[in-house]
Amino acid sequence: MSHLALYRTFRPTDLKSVVRQEHIVTVLKNQIESGKVGHAYLFCGPRGTGKTSIAKIFAAAINCENPVDGSPCGKCATCRALASPDNLDITEIDAASNNGVDEMRDLREKVQYPPVSGKYKVYIIDEVHMLSVQAFNALLKTLEEPPRHAVFILATTEAHKIPATILSRCMCFDFKLIPQEDLEKRLRFVFDSIGKKYDGEAIAAIARAGAGSVRDMLSIADTCVSFSSGKLTYKDVTEVLGNADFDGVYALCGAILQGDSGAAIEETEKFLAAGKSVGMLVSDVLNFLNQCAIARSCRGARELLGLPKDNFEKLQALAMETSPNALLRATDIFAKAESELKYSALPRVLFEAAVFKASMPETECDTRSLLARLEMLEAKLAKGEFVQIPQNEAPKYEPKPVPVQRVEESADEEEYIPPIEDAPPEEEVFVPRTPSVAPVQKPAPTVQAPAEPIAEKKPALRPAPIGDAKTTFGCFLRSLRKTGKNGVLFTICIDLDSAFEDGVFVLSTQSETMYQSMTKPEHYALIAQAFEAIGMGAGSFDIRLKSKQADNFTKSFNALKETFPTTKIEIK
- Dist. CA 326–CA 358, nearest whole Å: 9
Residue 417 lies in a domain: no
Phi, psi dihedral angles at 92 (to 5 degrees): -105, 130
Give strand pairing partners of 174.
44
Rg of the Cα trace of the chain? 46
Beta-carbon contacts of residue 275 (< 8 Å; ≥ 6 apart): none
Residue 452 DSSP symbol: P
- Dist. CA 557–CA 534, nearest whole Å: 31
Ordered alpha helix ranges (H), 436-546: 469-483, 487-494, 512-518, 521-533
For residues 248 and 270, the answer to whether their CB atoms sit within 8 Å is yes
Residue 100 DSSP symbol: S
For residues 534 and 475, the answer to whether their CB atoms sit within 8 Å is yes
SS3 570: coil
Residue 425 lies in a domain: no
Its domain, for residue 36, covers 6-176
What's the confidence (pLDDT) of residue 163? 92
Residue 111 lies in a domain: yes
Amino acid identity for residue 298 in this structure: C
Same domain as 360, residue 250: yes
- Last residue of one domain, picked from the residues 383, 408, 423: 383
Q: Tally DSSP H helices, then E strands, for the chain.
A: 24, 10
Residue 279 lies in a domain: yes
Same domain as 146, residue 47: yes
Closest CA to 52 of 114, 122, 109: 122
Amino acid identity for residue 222 in this structure: D
Same domain as 38, residue 172: yes
For residues 517 and 508, the answer to whether their CB atoms sit within 8 Å is no
Same domain as 375, residue 291: yes
Closest CA to 545 of 507, 571, 502, 503: 507
Phi, psi dihedral angles at 544 (to 5 degrees): -135, 155
For residues 210 and 177, the answer to whether their CB atoms sit within 8 Å is no
Same domain as 290, residue 379: yes
Residue 70 lies in a domain: yes
- Dist. CA 523–CA 516, nearest whole Å: 10
CATH of the domain at 34: 3.40.50.300
- Dist. CA 297–CA 291, nearest whole Å: 10
Strands ordered across the beta sheet of 541-545: 497-501, 504-509, 541-545
- Last residue of one domain, picked from the residues 123, 149, 176: 176
- Helix (H) or strand (E) segment spanning residue 92: strand 90-94
What's the confidence (pLDDT) of residue 549? 54
Residue 426 lies in a domain: no
Beta-carbon contacts of residue 557 (< 8 Å; ≥ 6 apart): 569, 571
Give strand pairing partners of 40.
152
- Last residue of one domain, picked from the residues 176, 198, 231: 176
Letter string b/e over residues 460-480, b meaning 16 or more CB atoms within 10 A of that residue's CB: eeeebeeeebeebbebbbbbb
For residues 72 and 61, the answer to whether their CB atoms sit within 8 Å is yes
> Can you give the pLDDT of all 572 residues of the chain as single tens digits?
567 889 888 999 889 889 888 999 999 999 998 888 999 999 999 999 999 999 999 999 999 988 888 889 888 888 888 888 888 889 999 998 888 889 899 898 889 988 888 889 999 999 999 999 999 998 988 888 889 999 999 999 999 999 999 999 999 999 999 998 899 999 999 999 999 999 888 998 899 888 889 999 999 999 999 898 888 988 889 888 887 788 889 999 999 998 888 899 999 998 888 888 898 899 999 999 999 999 988 888 888 888 888 888 899 999 998 888 889 889 999 999 999 988 888 899 999 999 999 888 776 666 666 666 676 677 667 666 655 555 555 555 455 554 545 544 444 444 444 444 444 444 444 444 444 444 445 455 444 544 554 444 444 455 555 557 888 888 888 888 777 667 777 777 877 888 888 778 888 888 877 788 788 888 888 888 888 888 888 778 888 887 655 556 666 667 777 777 777 666 65
Into how many domains does the chain fold? 3
What's the confidence (pLDDT) of residue 399? 52
Residue 497 lies in a domain: yes
Same domain as 134, residue 27: yes
Greatest alpha-carbon span in the chain: 148
Closest CA to 348 of 429, 291, 406, 265: 265
Same domain as 353, residue 275: yes
What's the confidence (pLDDT) of residue 388? 54
- Dist. CA 274–CA 351, nearest whole Å: 16
For residues 231 and 199, the answer to whether their CB atoms sit within 8 Å is yes
Same domain as 295, residue 154: no
Q: How far is CA 337 from CA 39, 269, 361, in A?
A: 48, 17, 16
Letter string b/e over residues 353-389, b meaning 16 or more CB atoms within 10 A of that residue's CB: ebbbbbbbbeeeeeeebebbbebbeebeeeeeeeeee
Residue 122 lies in a domain: yes
Residue 402 DSSP symbol: P
Same domain as 134, residue 21: yes
Same domain as 151, residue 68: yes
Angle, helices 278-297/309-321, rounded to nearest 10 degrees: 80
CATH of the domain at 475: 3.30.300
What's the confidence (pLDDT) of residue 390? 53
Same domain as 137, residue 50: yes
How would you class 217 by CB atoms within 10 Å of its CB: exposed for 0-12, middle for 13-18, buried for 19 or more? buried
CATH of the domain at 365: 1.20.272.10
Same domain as 369, residue 257: yes
